Structure 1
Amino acid sequence: MKLVGISGSLAGWKTNVAVHNALVAIEALDANIQTELIDLRDFEVEFVNGDPLAYYNEDTFNVVNKVLSADFLVIGSPIYQASISGALKNLLDHLPVDAFKRKVTGIVTTGEIEKHFLVSEYQLKPILTYLKGLVPTINVFIQNDSFSDENEIIDNDVLERYKLFAEEMVTLQKSLEQTK
């Protein structure tokens, strides 16, 4: 199985670290799962303008196809102004309506205040569901003060949530694989 993690931030490192930790937690459960981290800062994903995918630059074409070819995904975003990042929303806008059909789409977000966890439930989850993704009941929200100055996660509760998140992601995706 191929797991793709998306770090939907163009600034800072917290979202990248958060998604990376999710991938590591899932790999720890099943060494046969291949993982790839797509950090949107490394690509020039063009703004959606309604053209077919083939009309966009190579980065856009490649990132969208990596996302579409994944068996399951971890979607990561910082929370800015009570919303997901524009870079992540733009990437999601490139996808067809059934992009995540029969795929587990886990959510990992970072934010300044504890109420920002609501963005995962009330904004990102409906988008993933619209794209036909199966969203686990557990997601991982990490408040900025749960990171050290070196951008390492230092909150043991967050580390425990990663384990629960990984278990649910793998269990759900394996269940979907068995019914294909």
Structure 2
Amino acid sequence: MKLVVVSAGLSSPSSTRLLADRLAAATLRHVDAQAEVIEVRDLATEIAEHFVTGFPPVRLAAALDAVAAADGLVAVTPVFAASYSGLFKSFFDLIDKDALTGRPVLLGATGGTARHSLVTEHALRPLFSYLRALVLPTAVYAASQDWGEEGLAQRIARAGAELARFMAPPGRDVIPDVDTATAIAPRSLTGAITSVHPADGFEVVPFAQRLAALQAE
């Protein structure tokens, strides 16, 4: 299997590339795949040339073919003017309209402030839904203050496990590690939720027991 990672960071080193690498690593912990990273900034000139001439240069053609052949895709962009970068959008404008149909895609974005955290929902998700990709439920946004925080690591682990699950060949289950399994396991609730504990999750009390306790007060 092949995992393709598209990073649209503009600097080097780049927080966008860092997030892309961590999402890829989280995915590869659960599925056996070869990863290929596409740095969109290295293709900026070729992208512009393709728009003008209608023909992709060799490196760009190889990158577009890699995306089309991927079993899973990680796509990460920096945020500019409350949306994805123009370079990121230009790259995906060149993807064949049917290339990502049914393909699992994990979305990520980076920005300087948490105020842009919904960019994955109001900008990225509609773009890949238009391309008929299978956009995963968990998208990861990382603001400057998120780096080093436990919450970001947990979101990355959850997202990677989701992508691995959708990349797995039919009939082969993906078995996440214990921490990830706890994070993504669906809960079946059959009573009244009386408390939430970070380690244990929901404490469920049968309704009849809770009602009897209230009547006794």
Scaled by the length of structure 1, the TM-score of the pair is 0.86
The answer to whether the Cα contact below 8 Å between 1:9 and 1:87 also exists between their aligned partners in 2 is no
Residue 8 of structure 2 contacts residue 88 of structure 2 at CA under 8 Å; is this kept in 1? yes
Answer with 89-98 or 43-52: which moved more: 43-52
1:74-85 pair list within 5 angstroms:
74-85=74-85
Partner of 2:154: 160
Q: Distance in 1 between matches of 2:156 and 2:51?
A: 36
CA distance in 2, matches of 1:21, 1:83: 22
1:43-58 counterparts in 2 under 5 A?
43=43, 44-47=45-48, 48-49=50-51, 52=54, 55-58=55-58
1:121 corresponds to 2:121: yes
Q: State the alpha-carbon separation in 1 of the partners of residues 136 and 52 from structure 2.
A: 30
Per chain length, whose mean CA-contact separation is higher, i.e. which structure has more relative contact order (CA < 8 Å, sep 6+)? 1
State the Cα distance separating 1:132 from its structure 2 match: 1.1
Cα contact 1:45–1:91 (8 A) shared by 2: no
What does the per-residue CA deviation read over 1:19-52, in whole Å, with 9 as the maximum and x for residues that have no partner? 000011111112x211111111233432253765
Equivalent AA in structure 1 for residue 142 of structure 2: I
Count of matched residue pairs: 168
Secondary structure of the 1:18 match is helix
SS of the residue corresponding to residue 5 of structure 1 reads strand
C-alpha separation between the residues in 1 aligned to 2:146 and 2:170?
Answer: 37
Q: 1:78-122 CA distances to partner (integer Å, 9 max, x unpaired)? A: 111101011110000001212211210110111112121211101
- C-alpha displacement of 1:17: 0.3
In terms of fraction of residues, the more strand-rich structure is: 2
Could you tell me which amino acid in structure 2 is paired with residue 60 of structure 1? L
Task: Say whether residues 1:17 and 2:18 are aligned partners.
Answer: yes
* Distance in structure 2 (CA, Å) of the matches to 1:92 and 1:45: 13
The answer to whether the 8 A contact 1:103-1:133 is kept is yes
Segments of structure 2 that go 5 or more residues without pairing to the other structure are: 172-217
Residue equivalent to 2:206: none
SS at match of 1:46: helix
Aligned AA (1:68): A
If you compute each CA radius of gyration, which structure gives the higher value, 1 or 2?
Answer: 2
> SS where residue 82 of structure 2 aligns?
coil
1:6–1:37 CA contact under 8 A, matched in 2: yes
Partner amino acid, structure 2, of 1:49: F
Alignment of 1:73-152 (within 5 A): 73-147=73-147
| Cα distance in 2 between the residues matched to 1:94 and 1:73 | 16
Percent identity over the alignment is 25
Contact 2:28 2:164 in 1 (8 A): no
